[in-house]
Amino acid sequence: MASIISKKVNGNTYYYLRQMARVGGKPKMISERYLGKAADIEAAVAGSTAMPDSVAHRRFGDVAAVWSMLKRLGVGEIVDDVVGHRRSDASASVGTYFALAIANRVAAPCSKLAFSDWWATTCGERIVKLPASALDHRRFWEAMDAVSDDQLVEIERRIVARMVESFGLDCSGLVLDMTNFATYIDSANDRAPIAQRGHAKQKRTDLRLVGLGLVVSTDFGVPLVSHAYAGNRPDVTQFPEVVAELVARFGPMAESGCELTLVYDAGQNSAGNHELMVDSPLHFVGSLPPSDHPDLLAVPMGRYTTVDEERFPGLRAFESRVEVFGIQRRVVVTHSENLHEKQARGFEQTMAKARRQLAATSARLKRGKGRKSKEQVEAEVATILKPRWLSRVISTTLTGEEPPELRLAFRTKPKAVAGLHEELFGKRILFTDRDEWSIAEVVAGYRSQSGVEADFRQMKDPKVVSFSPMFHWTDQKIRVHVAHCVLALMTARLMVREAAGAGMHMSVRELLLTLAGIEESVMLYQGERGRPRARRMLTSMDPTQQCLYDLFRLSDFAPKA
């Protein structure tokens, strides 16, 4: 039963809402809420029906859900435990700045300079009590400077351990891949040796690159190990460092009887890397360049059998044993109709482009006014035919010696094109130490690479969980930025996994967009004097938003009044 009671203190009367209930057969007060003076109650009653003077909407759902996940992962606590406490006059702990940066990376990536403006549009200032001065971009930089490279590794180790334990993540399937990200660091900047020009996977050959190796779980593509490296280093050279860290984190699990399998592509192959896998407690599934095994490609299609029409429609395969880096290994050769068609269409486009270029060169020479020497024209033709397989299917003949006399003829060889269709298109060669697995299991293991590829695409999405923008110019800050991005990806993938577990299958962007639809309305009532009184409430939610609200425990962060 609820009742209003009064208390007199120093001649003033104060009112309380008291809730009574029977406990063990006896009446007992179970709650008491302060209501204020009589004038306060009168103003509250009048305000409940009055129109607000202004209304503002702030982002709530996505920010609160991300913050809830960061608290479950213990990000702030772990960072502070590793780095140590800052001096007493610091605006906030390093762990707090880590969590703030990660939340921003997930929800709305921006520079540290723009962070405070974005934060003001969210419910964050109510959830995380910080003075405005604490959000200055220089405070973020100071916090980033406080973390060493070794501490970054230790932070990731502890967060991953907490994640595996708290979320019951399945780590039996592991996928490794590498990519790089373009930066806008000036060429003359010598404070960022990690940013170098190399093979740009985003096709920005004019920019310096930062490489990133990532190991993710096949369980929703959640990052487990990250490794940042200089953009001019080949991926194959970084494989040992990534695997060493992977073994350090999960080796004891593998040695205790949990079988872990690492999947990687042909770009990571080398004798040293294969020896490293043999000596590790991990199993593996990899691939071999088809051109290195013409005897396997020459096997007639009659030996291929259907793998699993329901799981892998149009896929056929056969298995054999070949020597790989000095060891006899089981290999599975697959042929996919879908892949065959895609490669054939792509190659047709490549041939068409080459023929147009050769025709243009031939027409120029035919006019008899060319200035290039025979050697230069031969080099030009070689460049045109450089893409894979072109020189096999297009033959060229260059006659004449002097520039005005040079003539070029070319033709496509149908038999050679048919040979590509028969020997190469649609085929992959997989190898593994999993002799007990079925062909379907080997194929499924290899195809799990799509998880890490999806993670890299997500990090290149400019809207959510993005590597860019990256406005840092020193090696150390870049490494901290990479850590923020990887932990943001981990948080987002865990959120998707949690939603899927509740029956809501969404992409990262779809999930965050749905959560962002839950806003916090701030209604301001201006009295005759003083600061306006604020009332806060959440916008209405559809059934999906209500489920997400409950799933991510957003009631812990919802406004109380």
pLDDT tens readout for residues 393-402: 999 999 999 9
Q: Of 412, 437, 462, which closes a domain?
A: 437
Kindly report the backbone phi and psi dihedral angles of residue 18, in degrees, each rounded to the nearest multiple of 5, phi listed first.
Answer: -110, 135
The Cβ of residue 331 has, within 10 Å, a number of other Cβ atoms equal to 20
Task: Work out the angle between the directed axes of helices 508-516 and 94-107 (0-180°, nearest 10).
Answer: 100
Residue 552 lies in a domain: no
Number of domains in the chain: 2
- Residues 6 or more apart in contact with residue 287 via CB below 8 angstroms: 265, 266, 428, 429, 430, 431, 446
**Regarding beta strands 394-399 and 327-336, do their DSSP bridges make them parallel or antiparallel, or are they unpaired?**
unpaired
Q: Of 396, 414, 437, which closes a domain?
A: 437
Which neighbouring-strand residues pair with 15? 6, 36
Residue 519 lies in a domain: no
| 411: enclosing H helix or E strand | strand 407-412
Q: Which residues of the chain have pLDDT under 70?
A: 1-2, 24, 35, 39-50, 528, 561
In this prediction, residue 44 carries a pLDDT of 63
Residue 490 lies in a domain: no
Residue 484 lies in a domain: no
Q: Of 378, 408, 437, which closes a domain?
A: 437
- C-alpha distances (whole Å) from 544 to each of 34, 113, 393 are 36, 34, 55
Enclosing domain of residue 5: 1-50
The Cβ of residue 523 has, within 10 Å, a number of other Cβ atoms equal to 18
List the structure tokens of 403: 């520039």
Q: How far apart are CA 508 and CA 494, in angstroms?
A: 10
Establish whether the linkage from the previous residue to 469 is cis, with ω within 30° of 0: yes
In this prediction, residue 26 carries a pLDDT of 74
Residue 255 lies in a domain: no
Residue 499 lies in a domain: no
Residue 389 lies in a domain: yes
In this prediction, residue 142 carries a pLDDT of 92
| 363: enclosing H helix or E strand | helix 337-366
Q: How far apart are CA 338 and CA 119, in angstroms?
A: 47
Q: How far apart are CA 538 and CA 516, in angstroms?
A: 12
Q: Which of 355, 304, 353, 359 is nearest to 333 (CA)?
A: 304
pTM metric for this prediction: 0.85
In this prediction, residue 358 carries a pLDDT of 97
Residue 304 lies in a domain: yes
Q: How far apart are CA 19 and CA 32, in angstroms?
A: 6
- Residues 6 or more apart in contact with residue 374 via CB below 8 angstroms: 398, 400, 401, 402, 403, 406
Q: Which of 197, 126, 68, 149 is nearest to 521 (CA)?
A: 126
In this prediction, residue 327 carries a pLDDT of 95
Q: How far apart are CA 196 and CA 208, in angstroms?
A: 5
List the structure tokens of 371: 């200035």
In this prediction, residue 56 carries a pLDDT of 85
List the structure tokens of 338: 């879908």
Q: How far apart are CA 283 and CA 220, in angstroms?
A: 20
